[in-house]
Amino acid sequence: MQTTTDISKFIKEAASKLGFDACGFCKAQSIGDEQQNFAASWLANGYNADMAYMANNFDKRCDPTILVESARSIVCLALNYFPAEFQREDVPQFAYYAYGKDYHDIVKQKLQTLFDTIKEVVPSLEGRVFCDTAPILERYWASQAGIGFIGKNSLLIIPRKGSFFFLGELIINIELDYDQPLTNHCGNCTRCIDACPTKAIVSPKVINSNRCISYQTIENKGEIDSAIIPLLSNRLYGCDICQKVCPYNHYARPHSTEAFNPSSDFLSLDAEAVANMEVETYQRIFKGSAIKRAKLSGLKRNVEALKHSQGQ
């Protein structure tokens, strides 16, 4: 019979072979009163804007053993998405995470393959795989699993690698050798807070979504807040400002996942092309892309907002 240590080592080796850049383990348990109060306060302040789903299943967000019966461990994983090729700086900008195919599909497929690989050596394995598709505090658990620490911009920062990573989890019914959480290493740095043009980072680790360019250009289904429009900073879909200024992203290196590479059609887009885009072109360029979340109407709304912000 394999020991817990043997299985833990096997999982990390299998994750690395699948291309994951980090893997860590933590115990599946309640997040505790302090974290629950933090989450409840964020919601009470209305910082989730009109993302009502963020308030749903609060008990499951706070305790993964309610979400997955028989849960004993959380396997936390990270997959790099930092691009090797970028848009021109003079065109409306898309967040790096949306350059290629939808990460939900790519990461979840890798997670399922990892789960199936573990089950081959642990036939009694039960559990579920997740990638931003369930009420799970992904960054919190990743920090508990020792992958990284949560920075002042509220994102998970992996030392000597940065923050341009997708996160995913396996919540499973076996014990593992758990990793130690990392302490916060932001120190006195406030570059992300200072650089945010809309002051969406209201305090360390606390984001007011109402002010966030990513929320306004992606999740917001109405009109972009008129107070935000002059501050869009040429951001058409999402925003990476608080990541780009982070000193830890000096360590960012291009990913190795082919599906995350941008197409030539995507890289050739400019404001005029988006403003005049037909449905067929939209469907061709963004097939299988996370950008479809905003729909064509959302992109056209955003490009009009950019024109106003630039006095056009």
Token pair for 201 = 């980072």
* Integer angstrom CA distances of residue 83 from 80, 256, 268: 9, 9, 16
Contacts of 288 (CB under 8 A, 6+ apart): 101, 102, 105
Length of the chain: 312
Query: What is the rounded CA–CA span in Å between residue 271 and residue 92?
Result: 6
Contacts of 54 (CB under 8 A, 6+ apart): 43, 48
Residue tagged active-site, from 63, 105, 132, 177: 132
Pairwise CA distance, residues 274 & 230, whole Å: 19
Beta strands 156-157; 149-150: pairing state: antiparallel
- The encoded tokens of residue 193 equal 């807070």
Give 9's contacts (C-beta < 8 A, 6+ positions apart): none
Instruction: Write 36-44 long-range contacts (CB < 8 A, 24+).
Output: 36/62, 39/137, 42/206
Report the C-alpha gap between 154 and 1 in whole angstroms. 41
Helix 4-17 / helix 103-121 crossing angle, nearest 10 deg: 140
Cα 119 → chain centroid? 27
> Catalytic site residue 132?
yes
Question: Catalytic residues, which ones?
Answer: 132
